[in-house]
Amino acid sequence: MARQKRKTYLSGKGYARYKDSNKYVHRQAAKKKIGRSLHSDEVVHHRDGDKLNNNPNNLQVMSRRDHNRLHFKEMENVGCSAVLFLSTIISIVLVLILILPLF
């Protein structure tokens, strides 16, 4: 399988685009993977979060809605661990404040 290497450049959003057509490399790769063109409400998700990893295995075509939901969940998880971290710190400080006067 001979694959010609087309020239690409990095777009402002961090995605690779073909120099000749200005098309996004990941959208072209996803089209090839699913064998049809993408609908306007479909987006291509990079599973590993690397916008430049356009390996077909790393690309997932999903609706804009599902995609937003997916990333919202990720943000929620980050938020949860931040709250958990803060509450742990606060409880340690509280315990120290309560215990220290005893010594």
**Region from 4-12, 23-31, 38-46, 74-82 binding Zn ion, contact rule CB under 5 A:** 38-46
Among residues 33 and 45, whose Cβ is nearest to Zn ion?
45
d(CA 77, CA 67): 16
- Residue of minimal Cβ distance to Zn ion: 45
Q: Is residue 51 at the binding interface for Zn ion, with CB under 5 A as the rule? A: no
d(CA 43, CA 51): 13
Instruction: Please give the span between the terminal C-alpha atoms of the chain, in angstroms, as a whole number.
Output: 75
Residue from 31, 33, 45, 51 touching Zn ion (CB under 5 A): that is 45
**Region from 6-14, 31-39, 45-53, 84-92 binding Zn ion, contact rule CB under 5 A:** 45-53
Per the CB < 8 A criterion, the answer to whether 59 and 31 are in contact is no
Q: Is residue 31 at the binding interface for Zn ion, with CB under 5 A as the rule? A: no
d(CA 11, CA 46): 16
d(CA 56, CA 28): 10
Among residues 17 and 61, whose Cβ is nearest to Zn ion?
61
Task: Give residues in contact with Zn ion (CB under 5 A).
Answer: 45
